[in-house]
Amino acid sequence: MTRILDMSAEQLRTELEALEQEYASFVARGLSLNMARGKPADEQLELSMPMLDTLNSQSCWRSEDGTDCRNYGVLDGIPEAKRLMASMLDDEPENVIVFGSSSLTAMYDTVARCFNFGTTEGQPWCKETRVKWLCPAPGYDRHFAITEAFDFEMIPVPMNECGPDMDLIEELVAKDDQIKGIWCVPKYSNPGGITYSDEVVRRLASMTCAASDFRIIWDNAYCVHHLYDDVDMQDALLDIG
Ligand SMILES: Cc1ncc(COP(=O)(O)O)c(C=O)c1O
């Protein structure tokens, strides 16, 4: 199979026609599906209703280390919240920082900080003539909206059964120091539900990048969103840390 990047104008036209036909066949089915992200069903939303009644003016407001939770608190989160999140992430509480309730704002902020202030390894990305970003596709539209907002050149990388095409990624990052990062939804990635294999995780973690300030944004959004209760039926994901 020829990669899109390597196609001639004629091949691109043929590919476009084939994709348009495929798209039209989906449109013709008249489906009304939102595949953009994992939207919880009503039954799942119902599960969180009791939380709305958990706190009131009679509730205890001190965390276990004595922090008054009504006030400005600690930067990295109260111990109880760090422990809860660590249990979901299969990690240690000391590796957890609790932000606000939206991971997308945290991801936007991460990219914005690299853009404005740079990383410990390099100058601010706004000083680069061009910034490029790897986008495993199909992927998450709101990730792509962030890198688009910063006018990064987004390079699509095909998704395989085991994750993104690692041969292509390794080749690209090794030779181009303008490629500064990659979006990853490593578990049950939308829309195909693919979980990165151990080999893909290892290759991502150990690849040689021309950019010393290369960043992997590891959006493990669906770490507890298993389809089956049976542990043997759940996908396991290697810890990239
Ligand atoms: C892969 C992925 N990342 C991030 C988010 C957004 O999460 P948050 O509500 O924490 O901003 C979603 C929600 O749809 C998602 O599907």
CA of 222 to the centre of ligand 1 (A): 9
In a domain, 88, yes or no: no
CA of 2 to the centre of ligand 1 (A): 32
Q: What is the predicted pLDDT for the residue at 35?
A: 67
The answer to whether the CB of 102 is under 6 A from ligand 1 is yes
Q: Answer whether residue 2 shows pLDDT above 90.
A: no
- Half-sphere exposure for 224 (CA within 13 Å, toward CB): 9
Q: What is the predicted pLDDT for the residue at 190?
A: 84
Number of independent structural domains in the chain: 1
CA of 67 to the centre of ligand 1 (A): 29
In a domain, 178, yes or no: yes
Q: What is the predicted pLDDT for the residue at 230?
A: 83
In a domain, 38, yes or no: no
Q: Answer whether residue 90 shows pLDDT above 80.
A: yes
Q: Please tell me the distance from the alpha carbon of residue 239 to that of residue 241, in angstroms, as a whole number.
A: 5
What is the average per-residue pLDDT within 179-206?
Answer: 95
Q: Please tell me the distance from the alpha carbon of residue 19 to that of residue 235, in angstroms, as a whole number.
A: 30
The answer to whether the CB of 104 is under 6 A from ligand 1 is yes
In a domain, 9, yes or no: no
In a domain, 14, yes or no: no
The residue to mutate among 48, 88, 104, 141, having the most atoms of ligand 1 within 8 angstroms of its beta carbon, is 104
The answer to whether the CB of 13 is under 6 A from ligand 1 is no
Q: What is the predicted pLDDT for the residue at 119?
A: 96
Residue 147 sits in which domain range?
A: 103-233
In a domain, 192, yes or no: yes
CA of 6 to the centre of ligand 1 (A): 33
The answer to whether the CB of 219 is under 6 A from ligand 1 is yes
In a domain, 89, yes or no: no
In a domain, 197, yes or no: yes
Q: Answer whether residue 36 shows pLDDT above 70.
A: no
Q: Could you tell me the CATH number of the domain that includes residue 111?
A: 3.40.640.10
pTM for the model stands at 0.83
CA of 109 to the centre of ligand 1 (A): 14
